[in-house]
Chains A and B, each alone.
Chain A
């Protein structure tokens, strides 16, 4: 996909800047959900895990890939769900009681 490593490096550096720009705008109020949400995003490594486990052969690589998928899925599913649970608690006015 990325034949030229300098292209990947360029993407890396530019993404860091985009990240800093976007994340600086998140207020301290939401820093915990930001962290758990970002955490879930870092589970993107699941893509690599699927590729590693998805080869036809049943070798050590596939087993490592399997373990990686379990780890990454815990990260992704747990991260997004818990972030959603937390964000649901932030309310402007009390409704009901």
Chain B
């Protein structure tokens, strides 16, 4: 039986993946795109099951049933606020699977006394290294996001030197194993070191930088799949893996740009150290104007155009639905309401859009930073809910600020700014925000959800 059709099936799958991602370019065609990609995966899996190499189905079917059940439960149960953890976990599983396949292949070569050619050897060690590292790194990212462990950077003396040394050690082991694949002890050492490296590389990174880490791990899981493709000489894996690798790279770059930081800085420069110098310059004799929710309602009731700036604090307070009700109440009064979304508004790229979509905010009201910024001068009221650093004008003007140069939402240019905040405590990065002291800024102190509900109540009573 010739199996010329097998690579063709993989090609069809790869084409469906590409078309699937292309359909993600608009929210209307996106569900179809996702379905196309899923169909591509089904074709690849079924074709593989029918392949001549697969003669033992027990393990295969059992694995698919177990994995499918876990995946289904996870996908249906997960809260939208927990999506970053979910993606981190799925990334980890993908990377882990690639690492395991590399190991299984190596053992098979050893047992059958075959020597893999150079390309296969290199791909095998890379698959093991990247896959294992992605697995443990993703689990740490998951634990941090799920608050199973402290989100703050974990640092200790000589951390960077120790990591660099271990990185070099891993590379050296890679070379040794690639040269002598039959040395399974060396190989086990490589896997152990990769697992350790994954943990050590992620623990010094703070919670606010997680969007970058998740994007990068996403890229790694793709590259690990690619390496598996080289090991098996399977073009389908190579194509799909590099697609995912590219997606991760692009999103990583976008996230870094949105924070005006280099990837090296995010990965190796724990943020706390940079921000430490800036906190001293806080409020010297400046005053804020504190108002009540009732005052806020009066001002909002006269607005013709309002912009809401949601930050992660909004999600923490579970205020998405209340905020949508406020938008409804304002629209009933003939006010145009838009939501300004900063690229790092959530804990992963695009996270805030999902949270608001879940609260039934139509997506045409969700406006990206570059589109909304020119509109602020014509905005009557901008309502900042749980956002801080992304609306800090110091990023534009104060060269000494640690966030100087970071692209921000120019909310201070709107006629009236309303900031709902628990207290004047500085944000995650510990940086003072001059926005709070501006003449056109009114502060409403309180929990985001309670305050928004009070504003709605007062609005209805007017």
Contact = CB atoms under 8 A, between A and B. Distances in A.
A25 B29 CA distance: 13
Contacts of A42: 91, 94, 218, 221-222, 224-225, 240-241, 244
Nearest to A73: B67
A56 B87 CA distance: 34
Given A39-B90, A43-B94, A90-B30, A33 B233 contact: no
Interface of B: 6-7, 10, 13-14, 17-18, 20-22, 24-28, 30-31, 33-35, 37-38, 40-41, 44-45, 48-49, 51, 53-57, 59-60, 62-64, 66-68, 70-72, 74-76, 78, 80, 83, 86-87, 90-91, 93-94, 96-98, 100-101, 103-105, 107-108, 111, 117, 119, 214-215, 218, 221-222, 224-226, 228-251, 254, 341, 343, 346, 348-351, 353-354, 357-358, 360, 362-364, 366, 368
A24 B349 CA distance: 13
A73 B96 CA distance: 12
A21 to B, nearest CB: 9
A47 B97 CA distance: 10
Contacts, number: 403
Contact of A45 (B34, B97, B348): B97
Interface of A: 1-3, 5, 8, 11-12, 15-16, 18-20, 22-94, 97
A71 B67 contact: yes
Contacts of B234: 1-2, 47-48
Contacts of A43: 41, 93-94, 97, 225
15 contacts: A8-B233, A23-B246, A32-B348, A33-B30, A38-B218, A38-B243, A42-B244, A47-B48, A62-B104, A66-B59, A74-B93, A75-B67, A78-B93, A81-B72, A92-B362
Scoring A58, A75, A91 by chain B CB atoms within 10 A of each residue's CB, the highest score goes to A75
A2 B233 contact: yes
Given A33-B350, A62-B59, A74-B71, A51 B54 contact: yes
A86 B45 contact: no
Given A1-B234, A28-B353, A36-B90, A51 B48 contact: yes
A8 B229 contact: yes
Contact of B64 (A5, A57, A69): A69
B232 A48 contact: yes
B24 A34 contact: yes
Contact of A30 (B18, B24, B236, B348): B24
A71 B354 contact: no
Contact of B75 (A28, A81, A90): A81
B57 to A, nearest CB: 7
A90 B33 CA distance: 14
